[in-house]
């Protein structure tokens, strides 16, 4: 040992393992970019199941089966913590994943009803989410815990996930859909809107333009990244602060299309993007 080395330089190697983040598609990149921004020293693996997007209209059991296989894939790639960066998968699978993989720390998405209830003055809050998210027990439990005295205006948004997957954040057809989905919320006097699908934060600038500056639009991603940091600290799994995080992306769709989208949505070019393929109920890597 040289005289310059610090005794504190002995690092638990698990701290260098990546954080796994998954979604049905590019939506979870809204969460991933916050994790990469707040925790730039952490390695990550992002998994987009674009072969199956959208998850929202699917049966809960099917979403659970996909989620469980993706978690197994991420664990085979040594992920130390898994972020279910998808409200729909969190609604369908989070509880079961925690039972199936009891040793794994999970951070999931739950609709941000709590901050919305604290913020609203009109006591009316619009919630944008997929059908599966509204059906799940998780949503019912969040409503029961945090929405006392608040009227929630639940709005499903068919087609919006597909628009984001196509990179159409501001196109006439996207704006038309947004007008249609936001009108009932505005007509009922909501002053707060919760984005309860991780694809929707990419539409936040368009949404804010439509609803006006007086309405609070809540994107939970910064809070999720803070929660990831807290869990890593609690479990002694945080990477050394001086490390520069490396990022790998997997998609079950077309890696080139994913690369273009990542450039468009997260201003990232030259990313390490690989293809994963479903073979029956399990996942294999291609061209890695
Ligand atoms: N990004 C997702 C969510 O947060 C999934 C949307 C979908 O695939 O339908 O709900």
For residue 23, which atom of ligand 1 is closest to its CA?
A: 1
Q: Of 86, 92, 164, 262, which one is the catalytic site residue? A: 86
C-alpha angle 11-273-221 in degrees, rounded to nearest 5: 70
pLDDT at 2: 41
pLDDT at 231: 98
**Residue 109, both tokens:** 């998405």
Q: Of 97, 107, 197, 259, which one is the catalytic site residue? A: 197
pLDDT at 13: 87
DSSP 8-state code for residue 179:
H
Is the sign of the CA dihedral 277, 279, 283, 287 positive or negative? negative
pLDDT at 12: 78
For residue 88, which atom of ligand 1 is closest to its CA?
A: 10
Q: Give residue ranges with CB within 6 A of ligand 1.
A: 23-24, 27, 53-56, 86-88, 130, 133, 161, 197-199
Does the annotation mark 79 as catalytic? no
CA separation for the pair 277, 40 (Å, rounded): 29
- Determine the distance separating the centroid of ligand 1 and the alpha carbon of 261, expressed in angstroms: 16
pLDDT at 107: 98
Is the sign of the CA dihedral 219, 244, 82, 233 positive or negative? negative
pLDDT at 261: 96
Does the annotation mark 197 as catalytic? yes
86: closest CA among 61, 62, 54?
54
For residue 86, which atom of ligand 1 is closest to its CA?
A: 4
Query: pTM (2 decimals)?
Result: 0.94
Give Cα separations from 24 to 36, 114, 244 (angstroms).
19, 25, 27
10-residue averages of pLDDT along the chain (288 residues): 45 90 98 98 98 96 97 97 98 97 97 97 98 94 97 98 97 98 98 98 98 98 98 97 96 97 92 95 80
Residue nearest ligand 1's atom 9 by CA: 56
């Amino acid at each position: 040992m040289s005289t310059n080395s610090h005794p504190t330089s002995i690092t638990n190697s698990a701290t260098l393992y990546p954080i796994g983040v998954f979604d049905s598609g590019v939506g979870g990149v809204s969460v991933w970019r916050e994790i990469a921004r707040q925790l730039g020293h952490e390695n990550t693996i992002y998994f987009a199941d674009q072969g199956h997007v959208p998850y929202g209209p699917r049966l809960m059991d099917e979403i659970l089966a996909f989620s469980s296989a993706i978690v197994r894939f991420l664990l085979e790639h040594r992920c130390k913590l898994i972020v279910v960066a998808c409200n729909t998968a969190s609604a369908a699978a989070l509880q079961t994943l925690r039972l199936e993989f009891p040793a794994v720390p999970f951070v999931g998405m739950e609709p941000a009803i709590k901050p919305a209830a604290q913020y609203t003055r009109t006591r009316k809050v619009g919630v944008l989410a997929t059908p599966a998210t509204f059906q799940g027990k998780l949503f019912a439990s969040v409503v029961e815990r945090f929405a006392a005295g608040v009227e929630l205006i639940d709005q499903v948004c068919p087609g919006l996930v597909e628009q984001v997957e196509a990179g159409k954040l501001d196109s006439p057809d996207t704006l038309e859909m947004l007008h249609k989905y936001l009108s009932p919320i505005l007509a009922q006097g909501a002053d707060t809107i919760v984005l309860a699908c991780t694809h929707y934060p990419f539409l936040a600038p368009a949404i804010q333009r439509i609803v006006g500056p007086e309405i609070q639009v809540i994107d939970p991603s910064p809070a999720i990244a803070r929660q990831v940091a807290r869990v890593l600290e609690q479990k002694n799994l945080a990477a050394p602060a001086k490390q520069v995080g490396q990022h790998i992306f997997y998609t079950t769709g077309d890696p080139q299309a994913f690369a273009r989208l990542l450039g468009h949505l997260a201003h990232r070019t030259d990313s390490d993007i690989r293809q994963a393929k479903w073979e029956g109920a399990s996942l294999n890597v291609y061209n890695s």
